[in-house]
Structure 1
Amino acid sequence: MLPIPLWGHDIAPEAALEPADVAFHKQLADAALNAAKSKGATYTDVRIGRYLNQFVITREDKVQNTVNTESYGIGVRVIANGTWGFASMDDVSPAGAAKAAELAVAIAKANSKLQTEPVQLAPQKGFGEVSWKTPIERNAFEVPIKEKVDLLLGANAAAMKNGANYVNSALFLVNEQKYFASSEGSYIDQDVHRTWPVLNVTAIDQKTGKFETRQSLSAPVGMGYEYLSGKAEGKYQGITTRYGKYYDMVEDAGAAAKQAREKLTAKSVLAGKYDLVLDPSHLWLTIHESVGHPLELDRVLGYEANFAGTSFATLDKWQSKNFKYGSQKVNLFADKTQVGSLGAVGYDDEGVKTKQWDLVKDGTLVNYQATRDQAHIIGEKESHGCCYADNWSSVQFQRMANVSLAPGKEKLSVDNMIKDVEKGIYIIGDGSFSIDQQRYNFQFGGQLYYEIKDGKIVGPLKDVAYQSNTQEFWNSCSAICDDSDYRLGGSFFDGKGQPTQSSAVSHGSSTTRFNGVNVINTGRKI
């Protein structure tokens, strides 16, 4: 059910509650910084990471597995002879830190024989000794396993009671204890927490053997266990449309079973042009693929082409200062400080303090996402703070920030948005998708589809996917609900690079309408 990479080695659950020793980490960092300088490095940064993961996995009335893992080590990155070098060690000792630094310098010097231009870093002041922690109300790693199992089995029972034939559910919990130090004078300690509850419900038509599924409408979040204490906040004609700051997994499981069974008799969509009303639980993925990735500067420059290629949003479009990425209503921004988001941290893995900045303003492309060694290319005086590694053993590189669509400026509810639609489809939840090698032509599906006719929802649909290209799609944006409807979605496993790294990132929006989008029927006769 989950694409779960089990980093590191197994540990006892109570071992995850032992805090890292910040003073010891500073000692390790100084050992690495001194060793790198003595070998000729002109810049050094050190990352000491302790990465903790917990998985609790169930199916129907059974616990399938509980896993606790820890990965702990040191990564050192340097510039020597104008060239990057990186090395890592799982020997968490002053000697291990120094050895990693010396190896990183040796690698940089070897690489420099092929370097044509020296690395150019945007200025960055040192912050001294500082710390940052995800603002949590309840540390999920302190919650007893029994309480977590009871929650999951309770959700499974609700699904079975409401017509599910199969259901599996899981909790994925993350605590990253990250220490960063640099030759510029920063010693930054961060304690990052993330929570992801997931479920998948299957309903079967016993007569025909056909089946339908509905996955959870939860969002993975940068929060503690308090996220799982919520209630549904919004409904439209009986359809649960939103979970606010907190999520009720039992309620969602019960609704998922009913909706999966409802899909068995849903009308197959008639292909054609529709106005689409897209819930944030769906739109986050379209934002991710058609905005977040193509506005990563390394893709724009052609430095990165893994996982669906480069970008159509080339520098000449930005330099023109009038490239219409979307309609006048479209304002897209990057924000690494957004509370509750997966990407929220105080500082990135280059020691840059995180911030918010505009990518698309009133429909016009105005900026990209850049790191310290890219900022000068687009005339920026400082990094955007979006350089990360997924582990101490991986080198940090440019990663997507939380990229979101700003809510509408005028008061508008989902109900009132739907009242203005004559022929449309309301889509909830994310589904399968595809996008081309320049992040331009795409196709997206979802979890739930409802036909809108003359301003009212008239029933469920199935076999729905919409096709468009990035510029055409965002220019068809005609209405955005106000900030009272704003919600986050996101991904725990955003893949990029070679070797592949995964990062966690959120994307926010309010419910949004797009006019005249091409919808196809994905049904297949067997």
Structure 2
Amino acid sequence: MKRRDFVGLTGLAAGALWLPAVPGFGGSLVDPARLLEPGLDVAVKKRLADVALNTAKSAGATYADVRIGRYLNQSVFTREKQVQNIASGESFGAGVRVLANGTWGFAATNTVTEAGIAKAAQLAVQIAKANSKVQKEPVQLAPQKGQGVVSWKTPILVNAFEVPVKDKVDLLLAANAAALDNGASFVNSVLFQVNEQKYFASTDGSYIDQDIHRIWPNFSVTAIDRATGKFRSRDALSSPMGLGYEYLQPKAADKIAGPAGTGLIGYKNSFDMLADAALAAKQAKEKLTAKSVTAGKYDLVLDPNHLGLTIHESVGHPTELDRVLGYEANYAGTSFATLEWRAKNQPYGSKLVNIVADKLQPGSLGAVGYDDEGVPTKEWNIIDQGKLVDYQKIRDQAHIVNQKQSDGCCYADSWSTVQFQRMPNISLKPGTNKLSVDEMISKVDKGIYIAGRGSFSIDQQRYNSQFGGQVFYAIDKGKISGMLEDVAYQTNTLEFWNSCSAICDESDYRMFGSFFDGKGQPSQVSAVSHGSATTRFNNVNVINTARKI
């Protein structure tokens, strides 16, 4: 976009171009054209990687790996008829991790030269040897066969960074206009784009080059009753995805009709931002006069865009092995699903509940070919017919649960940060019998249909929780009877998953995700998806969030 066009669209000073980037989007602000420049040639990366590995071994490391990373991001922010900010960022450097004297050491540098990387490798070994003086037990690293020279790319159709910034601005402003034309008082929209160019090498014999893309369109619409000052909002029902700009080029085949009487549309691998913005405005207005829910027990029918967050908090986090072992207690809490609890063989959920972990699912945020330890990614069972059967683990954790290999879920959010166990995609398998959303609702006598992610709260053991949503519809005697407001459900993880009574089939399966899932000290972010079909939970406690105590 030309500077003159930008100023004309926004009416803002040129300094707006240099507003801080979004948290989690590190790196120096650069001209958007910089994002299209090629990175280092793969042969140069291999030569630099060999310098790091050889230097580390010469200094006394028994194992070493190096990650050379170029991280690109762009975020476009708009409000009503104006652009608020456009920020393009780039971060480039290398991180070296080693084992020496049975202890981890790590160092990073943005001087990506042979001398710079050699210095980082030497420092990593020095840190490992210093750490070994207080290490109580040596690290036990699960064996991993070297992968040789390989590569992996997100199978995108349109590179979002190649799309002109003006086209992205036009799309966001068109979505804003669709909301305003349908009764919105205020609307803001944003488009996040990420490209990770990661090169991994290890003394196991792996040289892995990966090119990873992610995208997330989002908006928030607000409607105001000027007479009373009351206002209500509705956010986008989009999902962040591991796709290119094709996600914003809607296809009819990707649309899934929501329940009769709601006007809702679900989306698989593309998103109609204009249609959802228009519907969001109408629903925000409708929420102004919607009936406030009566607290009590209800059967809940939860759409995938809502259920994904509940899966994330009540299954994803409590089955991270480092959290189970107490390693995250200081920052993020622990888990009720301890090794001792699992040994009792108690049901985590009903027999309908089958939850898998994976970093393979096409279009998902977690989809990569190899993790940041060079382990090929895979799918494995977390909950099988309601029983907890496994955790998420990496190379130095496998022996703790008597396993001999990593699950391939080790990740760092930057070349400058050390890799550690992160959540893969955690998804609920769809039902095996054909079942539509309307058929599911037809069997509900007294219930609530919930769509979209809302506020939530969950305790440090990921047990007691409360979840809201974006829109709520009453279900009376098998039919949608009108919109509700002030809805949240309270439950504990085991009660909730054991109340699962029906799951729609594969045709309704969709993904939700988190672009900025935080964990660790110092904190890192990662991106992860959660797939499911619309699911029913019986006799769940619903509260009225507007009630004064």
Which residue number corresponds to residue 205 of structure 1?
Answer: 225
User: 1:358 — aligned with what?
Assistant: 381
- What SS does the aligned partner of 2:275 have? helix
Provide the residue aligned with 1:196 in structure 2.
Answer: 216
Once residues 61 and 273 of structure 1 are traced to their aligned partners in structure 2, the CA distance between those partners, rounded to angstroms, is: 44
Provide the residue aligned with 1:10 in structure 2. 29
Is 2:323 the partner of 1:299?
Answer: yes
C-alpha separation in 1, matches of 2:386 and 2:22: 35
Structure-2 separation of matches of 1:524 and 1:274: 18
Q: Is the 8 A contact 1:306 1:496 kept in 2?
A: no
- Alignment of 1:425 onto 2:445: no
Cα displacement (A) at 1:243: 1.2
Secondary structure of the residue aligned to 2:450 is strand
Q: Aligned partner of 1:17: which letter? A: L
Give the equivalent residue in structure 2 for 1:491.
Answer: 514
Q: What's the CA shift for 1:318?
A: 2.3
State the TM-score, normalizing by the size of structure 2: 0.94
In the alignment, is the contact (CA less than 8 A) between 2:197 and 2:210 conserved in 1?
A: yes
**Counterpart AA for 2:298:** Y
Q: 2:237 aligns with which of 207, 217, 233?
A: 217
SS of equivalent to 1:188: strand
Aligned match of 1:368: 391
Identity %: 69
* CA displacement, residues 497-523 of structure 1 (integer Å, 9 cap, x when unaligned): 111000000000000000000000001
Asked whether the 8 Å contact 2:24–2:525 carries over to 1, the reply is no
| Offset from partner CA, 1:476-506 (integer Å, 9 cap, x none) | 0000000100000000000001110000000
Tell me, yes or no, if structure 1 residue 159 matches structure 2 residue 179: yes
- Superposition deviation, residue 5 in structure 1: 3.5
Aligned match of 1:43: 63
For the aligned residues, what is the CA RMSD?
1.3
User: Secondary structure of 2:527's match?
Assistant: strand
Structure 2: distance between partners of 1:496 and 1:352: 21
Contact 2:411 2:422 (C-alpha < 8 Å) held by counterparts: yes
Give the secondary structure class of the aligned counterpart of 1:135.
coil
**5+ residue gaps, structure 1:** none
- 1 CA distance for matches of 2:499 and 2:173? 43
Q: Distance in 1 between matches of 2:258 and 2:427?
A: 23
Q: Distance in 1 between matches of 2:386 and 2:176?
A: 44
Matched, 1:63 2:86: no
Contact 1:123 1:382 in 2 (8 A): yes
Provide, for residues 309-349 of structure 1, a one-character-per-residue CA deviation record: whole Å limited to 9, x for no partner.
010000022233x2200001000110100000000000000
Between the aligned partners of 2:528 and 2:392, the Cα distance in structure 1 is 14
Q: 1: distance between equivalents of 2:332 and 2:222?
A: 30
Matching residue of 1:95: 115
8 Å CA contact 1:244, 1:487 repeated in 2: yes
Q: C-alpha displacement at 1:379, in angstroms?
A: 1.6
Task: Specify the alignment match of 2:488 in structure 1.
Answer: 465
| 1:122/1:373 contact within 8 Å kept | yes
Map of 1:84-123 to 2, 5 A cutoff? 84-123=104-143
Task: Quote how far apart the aligned CAs of 1:17 are.
Answer: 1.1
CA distance in 2, matches of 1:328, 1:428: 24
Q: Does 1:245 align with 2:269?
A: yes
The AA in structure 2 aligned to 1:119 is V
Tell me if the contact between 1:54 and 1:173 (Cα under 8 Å) persists in the aligned partners: yes
> What's 2:10 paired with?
none
Q: Secondary structure at the match of 1:410?
A: coil
Query: SS of the counterpart of 2:497?
Result: helix
- Structure 1 residues 524 and 271, CA, compared in 2 at 3 Å: closer, same or farther? closer
Cα distance between partner residues in 1 of 2:342 and 2:395: 19
Judged with a 3 Å threshold, the aligned counterparts in structure 2 of structure 1 residues 523 and 63 are, in CA distance, closer, same or farther, namely: same
**Does the 8 A contact of 2:256 with 2:508 survive in 1?**
no
Equivalence for 1:175: 195
- The offset of 1:308, in angstroms, is 3.8
- 1:417 aligned counterpart, secondary structure: helix
Deviation at 1:125? Answer: 0.4
Distance 2:107 2:131 in 1: 13
Give how far 1:25 is off: 1.1
Equivalent positions of 1:260-339 (< 5 A) are: 260-320=284-344, 322-339=345-362
State the distance in 1 between where 2:94 and 2:366 align.
22
Q: How much has 1:525 moved relative to structure 2?
A: 5.9
Q: Quick one: distance in 2 between partners of 1:240 and 1:457?
A: 12
Residue 134 in 1 paired to residue 154 in 2? yes
Letter in 2 for 1:89: T
Q: Which residue identity lines up with residue 76 of structure 2 in the other structure?
A: V
Cα displacement (A) at 1:431: 0.6
C-alpha contact (below 8 Å) 1:241/1:279 kept by paired residues: no
Tell me the amino acid that sits aligned with residue 191 of structure 1. Answer: D
- Select which of 433, 454, 470 maps to 1:410: 433
Are 1:382 and 2:402 matched, yes or no? Answer: no
**Amino acid in structure 2 at the alignment position of 1:310:** T
Unaligned 5+ residue runs, structure 2?
1-19
Tell me how far 1:87 sits from its aligned partner: 0.5
Q: What is the SS of the residue equivalent to 2:98?
A: strand
Q: How far has the Cα of 1:240 moved from its partner?
A: 1.2
1:14 CA displacement = 1.4
CA distance, structure 2, for counterparts of residue 239 and residue 326 of structure 1: 31
TM-score by length of structure 1 reads: 0.98
Residue type at the aligned position of 2:87: V
Contact 1:75/1:87 (8 A) holds in 2: yes
Change in Cα spacing, 1:384 to 1:170, as seen in structure 2 (3 Å) is: same
Q: Does residue 400 in structure 1 map to residue 423 in structure 2? A: yes
Using the alignment, how far apart are the partners of 2:190 and 2:452 within structure 1?
Answer: 18
